[in-house]
Structure 1
Amino acid sequence: MTRDKYVIEILEGQQMTAGSKAKEDIVRFLVNDGFSKISFQAPKNKLRRLIFGKFYWKNFLKDVKNESIIIYQYPAYSRIMGDYFIEASKKKCITKIMVIHDLDSFRIYKDSPKDIKRELKFCNEFDVVVCHNDTMKKWLLSNGCTSQIISLNIFDYHEVIPVKDNKTEASIVFAGNLSKSEFISKIECKTPINLYGVYPKSHYKDNVMYQGAFDPSDLGNHLNGKYGLVWDGNSTDSCTGMTGEYMRINNPHKTSLYLTMGIPVIIWKEAALADFIVKNKLGIALRNLNHIDKELSKITEEQYLEFKKNSIDISKKLREGYFIKKAVRDALDLLN
């Protein structure tokens, strides 16, 4: 039996950050792969969500056939609306595939067994869960996830701006929320660093230059550097704090931004995504950012050109949605 396939688009409306781009891209790629898009505008008022949430989802799913397949991107706006979605989908015998964007059990509620249990219980309502990588998969399984799990490996990234040809400029780019990137003010290096994003500090060291904040659709036009930096937290010795530790399990979306623009990556050695970068020769992994000048000096021109070529090659896959399409097709195979 051929079943209808849908991907939910939850409208939130963010600007000047990449907060919603990953979800928007997945909708775009899956629509191109045969899914139908259904857009859902959740009520902003918390009381309305609580009182009328069931009605919203019932009305939203009224035209979806019984036993259809739905892709649900998580997290999605509010816990209570997520619970109401599960309730409504069960009544229509919908097969549910979750795509995880953020796992708050590890990021925010790491020391709260109650919240971890609640989030994992929600994951277990889905037939298949698509998580970031094998490290996240292992964590989910060890903490009670009983759904079937597929690893994405890396987020795709829709882009139409041509790749960058920065083969000679010895500089680094960093894009993100600069207010939570305390490490930038502490880096001891001479290599120029170009910053992009919101909430910059008023002063950085002389080799660190703020370039501005841009809409995700335009950011690629402004990135200028030989490497893209993937680091987080408040230390240069290691990725620390809530956001830094989170790199042990997640796929930072900025990694995909850099590679989509053909820019090789510098990443924390203990990040979950470091193995993917090193194995595919897409850049280097470091334990300490203060060693950056020394480590970059070891890279020969031949090695860099290999990093560059591989970054351009994987850019083609990321721009086409290769990884999410493969993960979802693998999920569908598990359901057959």
Structure 2
Amino acid sequence: MRKWISDIIQGESADATSQAKDDITAIGQKNGYEPLHIFRYNSDYESDQAIASRVDGITAGVAHGDLVVYQYPSLVSPRFDTVFVTQMRARGVKIVLLIHDVEVLRGTNQGNSVDEIPYFNSVDVLIVHNPIMAEKLKELGVTTPMVSQYLLDYLDDDHDWHRFFTEPDQFTGDLFLSGNLFKSSFLTDWHEETPITVVGVADEGIMQGLRDNPKITYPGAYSRYDLINHLPRGFGLAWDSDSGMGQYGSYTRYNHPHKVSLYLSHGMPAIVWDQAAVAPFIEANHLGLTISSLDDLDVVLPSLTADTINDMLAHVNDMGVLLRDGYFTARALSAAEEKAFVGKIQYS
């Protein structure tokens, strides 16, 4: 039996579109998986038969009884995702779907999207973000066994080790947010007394609004490598809506934002919405703060004691070691292999 993992190849971006997938492919290869290279392309004008032929070429080495971990969505097209899984099923391959996004939970499951519930039920195992996502998918009709990843890993072998850890005497308490700012247009109306530095891609209107706000520092967007060099030794904010509601805010009830892993892997405690799916993990492991509203920042941050901050930094520094080593993905892959082949191993 050989193990394979999809490798989505696309241009470098200043957001997390490709970063998480690239890291998972690298972690898979470190754990004995061979890559299946999939180039993002426009499949709108291809027939299903042409897509099937393309999939056959990509998976020429995959044989009956092998295991394929497919990163969903591939962002090629819903038809490509569907044909890929159909082809693997017909070939007698064990399929693990490693989920990055669930459109039906994000509220974007339109007519041209994969019909996700039957699609998820057509594979052997799902790797989902967390138990909250798993329970919601069960409510929606998913019966496939699921494994929780809990956090996305964040690989980084390119920076000096000083960029990975924050000592108490280095901690500034500065507030920082990195991400796709198309989802965070509310930031232009930032009215908190606590100043914030914001980086990421945005349109002209959002960029102008950020630069016009005296409480916001907006230097623009950085590549993945350069971003690390501009991270402060402070708090990382993971927030996609001013009220926690709306399309993106509600989605945080189920997903684990990539920016949380960016922060934790580089010595920054995270601040998240207390209704976010990642909030229980942050609280249980002393990795930052959970708040109900951005208005809480002006009250909570000044009231933090040195002991509380030191405790958070110690836990964040330790968790960062695991994130940079690919621990959570490797753990999920191992558990998915067990479920795919034997269900649950009985040791006594």
TM-score w.r.t. the length of structure 1 is 0.93
2:17 pairs with one of 16, 19, 23: 19
Consecutive unaligned residues of structure 1, counting only runs of 5 or more, are none
Counterpart of 1:314 in structure 2 is 319
1:219 pairs with one of 227, 231, 240: 227
Consecutive unaligned residues of structure 2, counting only runs of 5 or more, are 343-348
The question of 1:129 aligning with 2:126 is answered: yes
The within-5 A match list for 1:105-254 is 105-109=104-108, 118-160=115-157, 161=159, 162-165=163-166, 167-199=170-202, 200-204=206-210, 205-233=213-241, 235=242, 238-254=243-259
What value does the CA root-mean-square deviation take over the aligned residues?
1.8
In 1, the alpha carbon distance for the partners of 2:171 and 2:58 equals 53
> SS state of the match for residue 45, structure 2?
helix
Counterpart of 2:290 in structure 1 is 285
In 2, the alpha carbon distance for the partners of 1:283 and 1:132 equals 19
In 1, the alpha carbon distance for the partners of 2:124 and 2:284 equals 31
Question: What displacement does 1:191 show?
Answer: 2.0
The within-5 A match list for 1:45-64 is 45-48=43-46, 50-64=48-62
**1:102-154 Cα shifts (integer Å, max 9, x gaps):** 000010247x7x78991111111110000001110001111111110011111
In 1, the alpha carbon distance for the partners of 2:15 and 2:303 equals 34
In 1, the alpha carbon distance for the partners of 2:253 and 2:270 equals 17
The question of 1:295 aligning with 2:303 is answered: no
> SS state of the match for residue 145, structure 1?
coil
In 1, the alpha carbon distance for the partners of 2:52 and 2:40 equals 11
Question: What displacement does 1:45 show?
Answer: 4.0
In 2, the alpha carbon distance for the partners of 1:41 and 1:182 equals 31
Counterpart of 1:273 in structure 2 is 278
Q: Any conservation in 1 of the 2:6–2:70 contact (CA below 8 Å)?
A: yes
In 2, the alpha carbon distance for the partners of 1:197 and 1:43 equals 25
Q: Any conservation in 1 of the 2:78–2:113 contact (CA below 8 Å)?
A: no
Q: CA 1:116/1:180 → structure 2, altered by over 3 Å: closer, same or farther?
A: closer
Q: CA 1:326/1:246 → structure 2, altered by over 3 Å: closer, same or farther?
A: same
In 2, the alpha carbon distance for the partners of 1:62 and 1:232 equals 41
In 1, the alpha carbon distance for the partners of 2:247 and 2:334 equals 33
Q: CA 1:42/1:172 → structure 2, altered by over 3 Å: closer, same or farther?
A: closer
Amino acid at match of 1:217: Y
Q: Which moved more, 1:310-319 or 1:167-176?
A: 167-176
> SS state of the match for residue 66, structure 1?
coil
Q: Any conservation in 1 of the 2:273–2:291 contact (CA below 8 Å)?
A: yes
Q: CA 1:42/1:20 → structure 2, altered by over 3 Å: closer, same or farther?
A: closer
TM-score w.r.t. the length of structure 2 is 0.90
Question: What displacement does 1:190 show?
Answer: 2.2
Q: Any conservation in 2 of the 1:8–1:27 contact (CA below 8 Å)?
A: yes
In 2, the alpha carbon distance for the partners of 1:319 and 1:332 equals 22
Q: Which moved more, 1:156-165 or 1:313-322?
A: 156-165
**1:291-327 Cα shifts (integer Å, max 9, x gaps):** 2011112210111011111111010000111011101
Identity %: 29
Q: Which moved more, 1:81-90 or 1:305-314?
A: 81-90
Question: What displacement does 1:80 show?
Answer: 0.7
Amino acid at match of 2:177: F
The question of 1:72 aligning with 2:70 is answered: yes
Amino acid at match of 1:315: G
Q: Any conservation in 1 of the 2:200–2:222 contact (CA below 8 Å)?
A: yes
**How many residue pairs end up in the alignment?**
329
Q: Any conservation in 2 of the 1:30–1:325 contact (CA below 8 Å)?
A: yes
Amino acid at match of 1:131: V
Counterpart of 2:81 in structure 1 is 82
Amino acid at match of 1:178: L
Q: CA 1:69/1:275 → structure 2, altered by over 3 Å: closer, same or farther?
A: same
In 2, the alpha carbon distance for the partners of 1:116 and 1:326 equals 30
Question: What displacement does 1:40 show?
Answer: 1.9
Q: Any conservation in 2 of the 1:174–1:196 contact (CA below 8 Å)?
A: yes
The question of 1:325 aligning with 2:330 is answered: yes
In 2, the alpha carbon distance for the partners of 1:249 and 1:201 equals 29
